Amino acid sequence: MKEENKISRRKAIGSLGLGLAAVAATPVFDASARTGAFSVAADGLVDPTTKYPRPPFQHVNAPWPALTSEMNPKPDHGETTYKGSGRLAGRKALITGGDSGMGRAAAIAYAREGADVAINYLPREEPDAREVVELIKKAGRKAVAIPGDIRDESFCKRLVDEAAKSLGGLDILVSNAARQQTHDSIMDITSEQFDWTIKTNIYAPFWIIKAALPYLKPGSSIIGTTSVQATDPSGNLYDYAQTKAATTNYVKSLAKQLGPKGIRVNGVAPGPIWTPLQMGGGSTPEKLKEFGKETPLGRPGQPAELASIYVQLAANDASFSTGQIYGAAGGSGQP
């Protein structure tokens, strides 16, 4: 090789190296604008221990069901952080409890992934629901708001029929709504309170799934929100914990039943997540102050951190996942 060719080759390789270094050092877009409440390091990494607020928190007394607007700090549902990529284009989803918490995060993510979304919520939660509807519409998708109490069997049937009619079909069902109230002793739980929890957390999914099945075609997905309480129950959540054990089991049982029909059934099992569920009696003021501190990450999770799980379980590329429980508990709990 001639000397001038060697020199030219060195220059070319050197220029290539400088170019690659420049690409690596230059962000594709403004990271701070993308992530909102947290910052991205130069190498693209985000420290999960400092990504979101850590305890201690200030307890805010709020009647059940509490509203997102009553929380301090405000939860992140992905309003400014979730970016879609068309993974659910053309899909039709119904989400119970879609006004707040994990249901709200799933609704935002589904819309930004291309799905039309119907949400159910209690009438008192209308302010939260209106915000979600606007976010769905802003993503360019159809939004359907259906308030009502899922403890009523006839309403559950109307809910599904109205969602399917308004959306033009139904192929994703997220059974997420739940009631959680803390009681130090079983003696403090009245039969009325016990019935309220059982009706909301066990009967309602039974009624809603039955009503939805005639609409669900092969490729459809049912997703239940269970909890680490199903396998590691707290002493003060006697009734709630057993309903989540039931949720885990119906997911596994129904997956076997519906698998041959091409309908997948999976569950999401969060640990301590910063939602209105905690503010409206789901936790005591003392425990709320240190909420999430016991996790290895030292903080509670945010609803936005579960959004991608709900998307994955509904997406076509998760076609071999059924009967599975996906955990998100900051390093503690099961599964």
* Tens place of pLDDT per residue across the chain (335 aa): 444 444 444 444 344 343 333 333 333 323 333 334 566 677 789 999 999 999 999 877 777 888 998 888 999 999 999 999 999 999 999 999 999 999 999 999 999 999 999 999 999 999 999 999 999 999 999 999 999 999 999 999 999 999 999 999 999 999 999 999 999 999 999 999 999 999 999 999 999 999 999 999 999 999 999 999 999 999 999 999 999 999 999 999 999 999 999 999 999 999 999 998 888 788 887 888 999 999 999 999 999 999 999 999 999 999 999 999 999 999 987 77
- Same domain for 29 and 117, yes or no, is no
Q: Ramachandran region of residue 194, left (φ > 0), alpha (ψ -120 to 50) or beta?
A: alpha
The confidence score (pLDDT) of residue 130 equals: 98
List beta partners, residue 327: 269
The confidence score (pLDDT) of residue 333 equals: 77
Q: Is residue 244 assigned to a domain?
A: yes
- Same domain for 181 and 239, yes or no, is yes
The confidence score (pLDDT) of residue 152 equals: 98
Please report, for residues 6, 95, 248, 262, the alpha-carbon distance to residue 255 in angstroms, rounded to integers and kept in the order given: 64, 19, 11, 10
CB 302 within 8 A of CB 76: yes
- Same domain for 102 and 247, yes or no, is yes
- Same domain for 38 and 69, yes or no, is no
Please confirm, yes or no, whether 240 is among the known catalytic residues. Answer: yes
Q: Is residue 335 assigned to a domain?
A: no
The confidence score (pLDDT) of residue 38 equals: 60
The confidence score (pLDDT) of residue 244 equals: 98
**What range defines the domain where residue 36 resides?**
1-46
Q: Is residue 55 assigned to a domain?
A: no
Pairing of the two strands 143-147 and 221-225: unpaired
Structure-token pair, residue 1: 């090789």
Q: Is residue 297 assigned to a domain?
A: yes
- Count of the separate structural domains present in the chain: 2
- Same domain for 158 and 281, yes or no, is yes
The confidence score (pLDDT) of residue 285 equals: 79
- Same domain for 67 and 175, yes or no, is yes
- Same domain for 178 and 209, yes or no, is yes
Q: Is the dihedral of CA 228, 233, 237, 239 positive or negative?
A: positive
Determine how many CB atoms are found less than 10 A away from the CB of residue 191: 7
Residues 6+ positions from 167 with CB-CB distance below 8 Å? 92, 93, 94, 116, 117, 118, 142, 144
Per-residue burial over 253-292, b if 16 or more Cβ lie within 10 Å, else e, is ebbeebeeeebbbbbbbbbbbbbbbbbbbbbeeebbeebb
Catalytic residue (choose from 52, 110, 215, 240): 240
CB 269 within 8 A of CB 228: yes
- Same domain for 321 and 187, yes or no, is yes
Instruction: Classify residue 114 by burial, with Cβ atoms within 10 Å: 0-12, 13-18, 19+.
Output: middle
- Same domain for 72 and 39, yes or no, is no
Query: What CATH number is attached to the domain comprising 94?
Result: 3.40.50.720
